[in-house]
Structure 1
Amino acid sequence: MPGLSRAQTRPVITHGLQSGDIAHDGAMIWARADREAKMLVEWSTTEGFDIVHAVQPLDIGAPTDFTGKLALSGLPSDQDIFYRVRMMDLADSNAISPPQIGHFRTAPAGLRDISFVWSGDTAGQGWGIDEDRGGMRTYATMLTHEPDFFIHSGDTIYADNPMETEVALADGTTWRNVVIEQKAKVAETLDEFRKQYLYNMLDDNVRAFNAQVPMMAQWDDHEVTNNWYPNEVLSADDRYTEKSARLLASRAARAFHEMMPTRQVAEEPHRIYRKIAYGPLLDIFFLDLRTYRGDNTPNDEAEGAPFLGREQLAWLKRELAASEATWKVIASDMPIGMIVRDGDENFENGANGDGPALGREQDIAEILSFIKHGRVTNTVWLTADVHYTAAHHYSPDRAQFQDFEPFWEFVSGPLHAGTFGPNDYDNTFGPEVRFSKAPTEEQGVNLPPSDGLQFFGKVDIAADTRVMTVSLLDMADEVLWSTELQPVLG
């Protein structure tokens, strides 16, 4: 029997490339091989790689499911960076995969126009990759805008939503999912959580987007299971043999950081909350409203209830106070004033119905009050989670809790999941819905992506005026609503 050729024994890059958590002088780079290998990375400031900078190779293997993450450093600021990745077999230095090439732009050190997109909710409610319908098309639409970066606002996967091969649609057609073994059940093992991420990267649109646009990711509930909290025991869910939400979350957090191009901190390797500085115009503060929360309850505790946790709250206040950027974007994995229930009596997010700040709302009230009295200007909240798009203006003039300055919150999603909404609101912080688009009562709920109600948001900040323009768009790239926010300067 003839032996295998060298080309047949070369490693393979299995799921494309990713970059993320960019800085003015660096970024995280991600790739995955089909075996143990050395991850070889080179970068250049030209697409033709006229001058090449090589990075120390990284050994990757089974402990991280053959994924590799490298922190590029020493890069020039405000510069297009082209990087290429190859995988070299550990036993044969001549067995090297063909290169794959990615691109990102480093953050500016000075003033320049900024443009980015955000959304959330990928492959939820059983709506996976239907190749005959073009796959996850919202990613392709976002790519046409050539954004500087992408904020994934959570529900990056749906670990608790198994997929069927075929789903009958109301119009008489059939949705046909690409399905892998690990998507046919809820995720419980580390391998099953990992494969949820790799499933999304089977989509051509997702891989093309990831190779060109750096991602800044946070998580919400479906990275583990719906509406989870750390002390939860999934006693009533027969789909799970592992009942501890805390143990499932630990496995899910490891998979999240292995499969996403995130920076990690030594003192808390699974930490999600962080700040990313993007030049003098923008700082982004990523929240984690999941990991440090207390139990889901009626959320009416007069003394408050854990939501962000005291350490994260202290961090957020400290970083907001220290920020010298014109705009401070607070990237939240859940909206503030929308009511999201967990069963008949308990609540999933902060909002709990009309009235004063109670339960988890007190953490939000503390942040808003700090922003006012600390004279932190130009804060904007971005989120997803509820599977429709909306623009909310909050004002103390309409609110039960009034110790804060007016601000905006923008919601946009899903990227590729069932469409729902609209939600009810409470008056604790005085939200006013300036725009929303959601399914009508006649359309129903859990609409498939083929119905077109898939949404993302786009933010543009002008260097000359420092005006922020926020637009809400759909999968067809129609601008549904837009507004210009004037900054407070000086």
Structure 2
Amino acid sequence: MTAELRAAARHVDRRRFLTVTGAAAALAFAVNLPAAGAASAAELDARKITEDPFTLGVASGDPLPGSVLLWTRLAPSPYEPGGGLPRARVQVRWELAHDEAFTRIARRGHATAHPEFDHTVHVEAGGLAPGRPYYYRFRAGAWLSPVGRTRTAPHAAARVGELRLAAASCQAYHDGYFTAYRHLAEEDVHAVFHLGDYLYEYAVDAAGGHRRYTDRQLPAHFNRETVTLEDYRLRYALYKTDGDLKAAHAAHPFVVTWDDHETENNYAGGTPENDVPPEEFLLRRAAAYRAYWENQPLRTPQRPTGADMRLYRRLRFGDLAQFDILDTRQYRSDQAYGDGWQTPGPESEDPARTMTGAEQERWLLDGWKDSGAIWNVVPQQVTFARRRNVPGPDFKLSMDAWDGYPASRKRILDGAQAAGVENLVVLTGDVHVGYAFDLKADFDDPASRTVGTELVATSVSSGRDGADKPANWDNLTRANPHLRFYNGRRGYLRVTLTPGHARADFRTVSAVTTPGASVTTAASFVTESGNPGLRPV
């Protein structure tokens, strides 16, 4: 697309954005459950729903020792605004059982699918036993949802011998099939950590981009960038109709955090990628944040307030692991030197620059002081380790990654040392490749002390098929001696934690532009408890 056409497209999107109805804008900024007047509006008898409303599947998330969050969304016509339902409340029943046949019910109840929340349902199912699996389902009228399987976390004081988790990120629908999720659904893991770019704001054509559909066509409203609340809601519906993604959600509880594309590419705090008025971008951000909460298995404390949403939070799995889930988008300083790969200098190295914001940084460091867990794991978005693009003195660094915020990174590493964190593992997404890094006390000195590990999960589909050795493989591996592994295929990361070690398996698929590809383990690494540093298995 030429620059003129891109500018014209932005103008059309901006005009469409500015002419969106006042009701949609109000929805974007509404924060609480519908007021009494709205709640007393019409209620739809669920028995009158004539088509399956559970087209988007089920999900669970944020497991605690005594509870788990259950999610679904009613959408008999998922590609239509409102999911094909009228603006009326729908009563939904839910059940949680000890067995897949639902002969031993653990908990059951009712929930309301409000039209103000696009008929999504968030159930915080409590009173559960810690550290055990459960099965769940929903019912609306005569319709029964697929069955999901979830797990509660172990008790905070429990001695845990093993924890298996997976990490995934970057699933551009238009770049290919979500085959990795089909394989991930079959893995035996306790939880899946999604590290951002759950959806992309870019247009998806009638053929599904590189999926190249020949048996159907997607509606024309997907073939534009997401800007309004309705746009984002419809885009989540498109993604969540994918059978492989639905299978992964039904198989495992997810712990989610966002990166940029859930809103807009490379935005930083309140600063948009493109030159639009700040108030216009904040309205877009509010719409994106609201749709994100609606469509993810997130608890009530994460429900947004206008253009703000507290996504950073902490989960504990017995004495074995503490997970501090970060948000490196909402509070960061604007990228230095105009973003992209740049030569570092005074602007990027300004000590005042922050990736997390001061409040989140204090929360993280204080949480480490009180942790006591064997492994302290930080699921977050962008590459944490230093990553020079070429060997020699004329290197550049990514201003969107932690390399653009080195003072912020140093405060984090110094805080980990001060808190006595011996086993630091950073989980990362964003870059559409698999990396394994040793985190160094001084990245300028390869012989300096190793203080932790960074494991980067490749994309589910973004970047299309990829290659085992991308074009810059030689430059990156020579320029960064602390980089222990680099692979450019699609897939996911599997991590096994025990009191004695952490093992990382980089699982990759051979292709995503055609469905049904096989999965293999491209490499495996282990880091020992109390002895940071990766070694191949």
Q: Which of the five TM-score ranges fits, normalised by the shorter chain?
A: 0.7 to 0.9
CA distance in 2 between partners of 1:308 and 1:218 (Å): 14
Change (3 A) 1:327 1:178: farther
CA distance in 2 between partners of 1:138 and 1:293 (Å): 31
Deviations 1:159-208 (A, max 9, x none): 1x111234897xxx956686344421111111111222221111111111
What amino acid is the match of 1:205? D
Aligned equivalent of 1:351 = 403
Deviations 1:284-305 (A, max 9, x none): 1111110001222224243331
Using the TM superposition, name which of 399-408 and 310-319 deviates more: 399-408
What amino acid is the match of 1:387? H
SS in 1 for 2:267: coil
Aligned equivalent of 2:506 = 472
Q: How do 1:327-342 residues align onto structure 2 when only pairs under 5 Å count?
A: 327-336=375-384, 337-338=386-387
Kept in 1, the 8 Å contact 2:57–2:145? The answer is no
What amino acid is the match of 1:324? G
Change (3 A) 1:288 1:140: same
SS in 1 for 2:327: coil
CA distance in 2 between partners of 1:204 and 1:168 (Å): 17
What amino acid is the match of 1:323? S
Query: Is 1:323 aligned to residue 362 of structure 2?
Result: no
Work out which of the residue numbers 100, 107, 114 in structure 1 matches 2:163. Answer: 114
CA distance in 1 between partners of 2:352 and 2:446 (Å): 14
Structure showing the higher helix proportion among its residues: 2
Using the TM superposition, name which of 301-310 and 318-327 deviates more: 301-310
Kept in 1, the 8 Å contact 2:94–2:136? The answer is yes
Work out which of the residue numbers 178, 183, 196 in structure 2 matches 1:136. Answer: 178
Query: Is 1:74 aligned to residue 116 of structure 2?
Result: no
CA distance in 2 between partners of 1:333 and 1:351 (Å): 13
Deviations 1:244-279 (A, max 9, x none): 332221211111111000124279652111111122
Kept in 1, the 8 Å contact 2:272–2:278? The answer is no
TM-score (norm 2): 0.74
CA distance in 2 between partners of 1:58 and 1:248 (Å): 29
Work out which of the residue numbers 315, 337, 352 in structure 2 matches 1:276. Answer: 315
CA distance in 1 between partners of 2:188 and 2:262 (Å): 27
Alpha-carbon shift at residue 482 of structure 1 (Å): 1.0
Aligned equivalent of 2:356 = 308
Structure 1's unaligned 5+ residue stretches are: 88-94, 129-134, 353-359, 439-452
What amino acid is the match of 1:351? D
CA distance in 2 between partners of 1:391 and 1:286 (Å): 19
SS in 2 for 1:150: strand
What amino acid is the match of 1:18? A
What amino acid is the match of 2:252? V
Alpha-carbon shift at residue 384 of structure 1 (Å): 1.2
Change (3 A) 1:374 1:401: farther
CA distance in 2 between partners of 1:431 and 1:232 (Å): 34
What amino acid is the match of 2:148? G
What amino acid is the match of 2:54? I
Kept in 2, the 8 Å contact 1:11–1:37? The answer is no
CA distance in 2 between partners of 1:150 and 1:410 (Å): 14
What amino acid is the match of 1:392? F
CA distance in 2 between partners of 1:312 and 1:8 (Å): 44
Aligned equivalent of 2:408 = 363
Change (3 A) 1:73 1:466: farther
RMSD: 3.2
Q: How do 1:420-435 residues align onto structure 2 when only pairs under 5 Å count?
A: 422=472, 432-435=482-485
TM-score (norm 1): 0.81
CA distance in 2 between partners of 1:155 and 1:242 (Å): 22
Query: Is 1:146 aligned to residue 180 of structure 2?
Result: no
Alpha-carbon shift at residue 106 of structure 1 (Å): 1.4
Change (3 A) 1:9 1:202: closer
Kept in 2, the 8 Å contact 1:284–1:329? The answer is yes
Alpha-carbon shift at residue 332 of structure 1 (Å): 1.3
CA distance in 1 between partners of 2:48 and 2:91 (Å): 17
Change (3 A) 1:486 1:52: same
Work out which of the residue numbers 348, 358, 373 in structure 1 matches 2:418. Answer: 373
Alpha-carbon shift at residue 408 of structure 1 (Å): 1.1
SS in 1 for 2:244: helix
Kept in 2, the 8 Å contact 1:86–1:100? The answer is no
Change (3 A) 1:339 1:75: farther
Structure 2's unaligned 5+ residue stretches are: 1-45, 76-84, 338-346, 390-395, 510-517, 532-537
CA distance in 2 between partners of 1:400 and 1:484 (Å): 23
Work out which of the residue numbers 264, 286, 290 in structure 2 matches 1:225. Answer: 264
Work out which of the residue numbers 52, 56, 60 in structure 2 matches 1:15. Answer: 56
Change (3 A) 1:104 1:6: closer
Name the % identity.
22
CA distance in 2 between partners of 1:252 and 1:168 (Å): 22
CA distance in 2 between partners of 1:279 and 1:182 (Å): 46
Aligned residues: 438
